[in-house]
C-alpha cells in the first residue's frame, strides 16, 4: 500500500524500530521498515527511521533449553521492556517466539504477509524423516519438533541444538548431530532456502505463528495504531490470531508440545489443524476443523477444547508440571 497522507502529529521521528540482533531478526526489521516507507512516504526521508538491535536473554544463553531458563518469551522480554520504557517505538518479532499472553499495555498492531510455515529437514543425503538412518541424532531445542519426530521414529536420538540459523547450520556441518530442523521462512529470508528439504505439514505440523512477523506497540502511544494498520496483512493477522487463541485455550507454553496451523482456503473457506502430545512422542492427539473463514477463530478455540478433552489427565498433568 502506498501512503497518501502525512504522519499523525503524535509520531516523533526518527521512528525507532527495536529488534533482536540476530541476522534473521535484522532482516525482518528491515522488511518492516521497507513496508512502512512504502506506506508512509514521510518515513522514506533520510534518518526518518532507525533500527535498534537489542541482545536478548534467549540469544545470550544458548547452552540450555529455553524451558529451563524462562521460555521462548526470553526472545521478546528485553524488547518489551524497551517498549514500555520508551526506548524504542515499535518492536519486530517472529510471532512463533511470542508468549501466549502479552504484557499489559502492549499489543501486536500489524503482521507482514506470512511466509511458508513449513519446517525444513537438514540431514545430508536424507530427504525425508523416513530416510534418516536408524538411531540418527537429531539436534533441536523445540519440544514440538522433538515430540512429532519421536512419534514417527522412536529410534531417533535427540540432542540440544540452539543458536541462530547460521550457527545451527555450522553445527550440523561440523557433525554435532546428524540432522536438524529449521523454519523454511527464516531460511528464505536469509537467502538460504537452498539447504534441506521442506516437510509437509501433514507430517510435521508447524509451531503457532511460524512464518509470521509481527509488530508490537504500546497501546497508549498516539498515532502508532494507524501507522501500523497501513502495513498489516489481514489474512496473516486472522490466521495467527486464531492460532494464538488455540494456544490460549491449551494454556500453552514453551514446555508444552503443541502445534497448530490456520489456513484460508478458496474464496471464503478455512481450515484449522491442531496437535498436542507427550514430550517423548508416546502419545499424540490431533484434531481439525473446516468451515467459513469468518468462523476461523471459533474453529481454533474449539480445536483446542477438543484436544484438552481427548488428552484428559495426561495433558493436565503435563500442564501442571509446567506451572
Question: What residue segments make up the domains of the chain, in order of their start?
Answer: 15-113+212-232, 119-199, 245-322
Does 233 participate in catalysis according to the annotation? no
- What local confidence, expressed as pLDDT, does residue 56 receive? 67
Class of the domain covering 119-199: alpha beta
User: pLDDT by residue (tens digit) across 10-63?
Assistant: 899 999 999 999 999 999 999 999 999 999 999 999 999 999 999 766 555 554
* Count of H-run helices and E-run strands, the chain: 10, 13
- Calpha distance 225→206 (Å, rounded): 29
How does pLDDT run across 209-262, given as a tens digit for each residue? 999 999 999 999 989 999 999 999 999 999 999 999 999 999 865 567 999 999
Closest Cα partner for 114 from 232, 22, 204, 230? 232
| pLDDT above 50: residue 3 | no
Residue 134 backbone dihedrals phi, psi, to 5 degrees? -55, 130
Query: Quick check: do 15-113+212-232 and 119-199 share a fold?
Result: yes
Checking if the pLDDT of 169 tops 50, the result is: yes
All residues at 6 or more sequence positions from 160 whose CB lies less than 8 Å from its CB, including other chains: 63, 64, 65, 139, 140, 141
Answer whether CATH 3.40.640.10 is correct for domain 245-322.
no
Report the CATH architecture of 15-113+212-232. Answer: 3-Layer(aba) Sandwich (3.40)
Listed range (141-145, 154-158, 254-258, 302-306) with the worst mean pLDDT: 254-258
Local structure of 150: helix, strand or coil: helix
Q: What is the 3-state secondary structure (H, E, C) of 36-88?
A: HHHHCHHHHCCCCEEEEEECCHHHHCCCCCHHHHCCHHHHCHHHHHHHHCCCC
8 Å CB contact between 164 and 22: yes
- What is the CB neighbour count within 10 angstroms for residue 285? 18
21, exposed or middle or buried, with CB in 10 Å at 0-12, 13-18, 19+?
Answer: middle
Per-residue pLDDT of 109-131, as tens digits, reads 999 999 999 999 999 899 999 99
Q: Which listed residue (97, 178, 232, 302) is catalytic? A: 97
User: Which of 38-42, 70-74, 105-109, 261-265 is least confident?
Assistant: 70-74
Cα(279)–Cα(65) distance, integer angstroms: 13
* pTM, to two decimals: 0.91
User: For position 6, what pLDDT does the model report?
Assistant: 73
Q: What is the mean pLDDT of the chain?
A: 90
* Digit-coded pLDDT (tens) for 127-143: 999 999 999 999 998 99
Helix then strand then coil, in percent of the chain rounded to 5, is 35, 25, 40
| Cell of residue 172, nine digits | 550440523
The average pLDDT across 173-179 equals 93
Amino acid at each position: 500500500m502506498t501512503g497518501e497522507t502525512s504522519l499523525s502529529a503524535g509520531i516523533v521521528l526518527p521512528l525507532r524500530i527495536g529488534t533482536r540482533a540476530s541476522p534473521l531478526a535484522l532482516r525482518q526489521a528491515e522488511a518492516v521498515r521497507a513496508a512502512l516507507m512504502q506506506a508512509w512516504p514521510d518515513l522514506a526521508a533520510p534518518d526518518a527511521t532507525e533500527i535498534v538491535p537489542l541482545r536478548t536473554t534467549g540469544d545470550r544463553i544458548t547452552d540450555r533449553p529455553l524451558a529451563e531458563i524462562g521460555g521462548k518469551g526470553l526472545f521478546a522480554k528485553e524488547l518489551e521492556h524497551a517498549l514500555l520504557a520508551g526506548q524504542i517505538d515499535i518492536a519486530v518479532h517472529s510471532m512463533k517466539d511470542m508468549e501466549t499472553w502479552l504484557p499489559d499495555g502492549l499489543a501486536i498492531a500489524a503482521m507482514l504477509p506470512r511466509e511458508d510455515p513449513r519446517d525444513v529437514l537438514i540431514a545430508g543425503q536424507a530427504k525425508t524423516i523416513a530416510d534418516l538412518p536408524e538411531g540418527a541424532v537429531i539436534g533441536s531445542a523445540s519440544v514440538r519438533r522433538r515430540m512429532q519426530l519421536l512419534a514417527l521414529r522412536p529410534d531417533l536420538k535427540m540432542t540440544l541444538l540452539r543458536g541462530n540459523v547460521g550457527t545451527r547450520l555450522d553445527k550440523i556441518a561440523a557433525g554435532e548431530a546428524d540432522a536438524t530442523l529449521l523454519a523454511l521462512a527464516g531460511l528464505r529470508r536469509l537467502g538460504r532456502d537452498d539447504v534441506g528439504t521442506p516437510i509437509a505439514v501433514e507430517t510435521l505440523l508447524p509451531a503457532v505463528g511460524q512464518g509470521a512477523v509481527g509488530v508490537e506497540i504500546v497501546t497508549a502511544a498516539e498515532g502508532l495504531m494507524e501507522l501500523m494498520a497501513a502495513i498489516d496483512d489481514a489474512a496473516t493477522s486472522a490466521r495467527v490470531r486464531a492460532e494464538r487463541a488455540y494456544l490460549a485455550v491449551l494454556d500453552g507454553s514453551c514446555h508444552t508440545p503443541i502445534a497448530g496451523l490456520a489456513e484460508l482456503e478458496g474464496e471464503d473457506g478455512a481450515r484449522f489443524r491442531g496437535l498436542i502430545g507427550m514430550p517423548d512422542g508416546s502419545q499424540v492427539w490431533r484434531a481439525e476443523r473446516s468451515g467459513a473463514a469468518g468462523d476461523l477463530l471459533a474453529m481454533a478455540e474449539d480445536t483446542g477444547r477438543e484436544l484438552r478433552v481427548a488428552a484428559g489427565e495426561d495433558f493436565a498433568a503435563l500442564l501442571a508440571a509446567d506451572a
